[in-house]
Structure 1
Amino acid sequence: MSIGGNEAVRAGLAAQLVPLWRYGLVLSGSRQAAEDLVQATCVRALERSGQFTPGTRLDRWLFAILRSIWLNELRARRMREGAGVEDAEAVLSFDGREAIETNILAAQVLREVWALPEAQRETVYLVYVEGLSYAEAAQALDIPVGTVMSRLAAARARLASLKDEAGPKLGENHGTG
């Protein structure tokens, strides 16, 4: 067991809770499921901290653990009945006129991103929200770098087509005057 890996995981875990929760939310669409995923990820990371190599990116290692747990949960869920997914827009929206007005553009973006196929949505999150390089995202997803690039290109094309289908959005000025 690596003492350095154990210390590095313990020292850096708290700083990764919010990014892990966001990733869990992107995958599951549910606040509760995201919290459960983060908890399971922390437990597994602490149990296997000796496998972490100090000096490498802890966040990338934790994302890979969380994704593995999520995939296992999906497999198990397919065997059970009644497992539902919460609507991401409902989870991320707030009551009150000011909050709704303030967050309307974000809600539109979230709605469009949530409409992406799961593999594209997950790749978009890792690269554009968490800032992973293509190589790091490929490693976290256990896929070739070319697949990451392909998924991102497809996601950008899909988002562009959704924008074209929806017409003018909030803040766009299409007046002739």
Structure 2
Amino acid sequence: MPQDLLPETLPVHIDSLRRAARGMTRTREDAEDLVQDTLLKVLARPRQVGPAGPGPYLHQALRNTHVSSLRTRDRRPVLSPLEPEDTRLVAPSGGEPIEILHTREIIAAINALPQAQREVVAAVDVAGFGYTEAATQLKIPVGTVMSRLHRGRARLATYADAA
């Protein structure tokens, strides 16, 4: 015989729901959120539970809420964080407009380089590191710094000639 689910009977089951939610989510904070979401859904409208009482009903509601949240999370697009912008490669805000334009063109040309060359050109020509210091910072041999710098500068010269 179904019986009404009374809000005053819920506090007895909260500890059991928290333990079950902790097993499902693996973190205390997520478990608390899951229990809270479940209780909000259950209390949103009148419910009737079976002869076993509110315990099994609440645990099934907890499981259903958890599965629904997983499905919702899986449908969301995965966002990746933006790469931090290298402040050394930002055009200065002051100066003559033509200087700013040239600086932006150079920065755009540096950004167009392959990553390995871009890192070396930024380290040596923009940041002012020496070859040894750049090699240490980038964790590559000094010879590699010199060859990447040569190729990067040659490519930049090609961009400058084309412009």
Larger Rg: 2
TM norm. shorter chain > 0.5: no
- Higher relative contact order, structure no. (Cα contacts within 8 Å, ≥ 6 residues apart): 1
TM-score band (shorter)?
A: 0.3 to 0.5
The TM-score with structure 2 as length reference comes to 0.42
